[in-house]
Amino acid sequence: MQAAIKARSNAYAPYSNFLVGCALLLENGTIIHGNNQENAAYPSGLCAERVAIFAAGANYPGVSVVKMAITAGPVEGDFEEPVPPCGACRQSIAEYESRQSSPIELLFMGTSGKVARSKSLGDLLPLIFDRNYL
């Protein structure tokens, strides 16, 4: 979670002013950082979770993701509610769980307060759409 907090500090979110940091623990012990990257053309930005998981896939192909830690909240003030991944990120994480045939534990929090835990993305997104439907 500390790596996710550090990643959050480097987020680029001048439009939403909502910073998100993510850190992945790979099975080889490597930690990958990601943060949200916004763009004036809103659909062109990318969430922290997808920045991190796509970086892991691009730079460490075949290495499983064991855990994902996420922290999120506004630039100003405190946010104590745990912030889970958005729908698009859930689908992307689901693809990686399916691809690696093992769960990814998710830990998520606001800027402070309690940390929520999910043993697998499947707990947050039941009835996952994956390559078996194609």
Please list the active-site residues. Answer: 49
Q: How many CB atoms lie within 10 A of CB 79?
A: 17
Do the beta carbons of residue 118 and residue 94 sit within 8 Å?
Answer: no
Spatial separation of the C-alpha atoms in residues 108 and 71, rounded to whole Å:
6
| Helix pair 87-100, 48-59: axis angle to 10 deg | 30
Nearest residue to 64 (alpha-carbon basis) of 119, 93, 27: 27
Spatial separation of the C-alpha atoms in residues 73 and 108, rounded to whole Å:
11
Return the structure tokens found at 25: 């623990």
Whats the size of the chain, residue-wise? 134
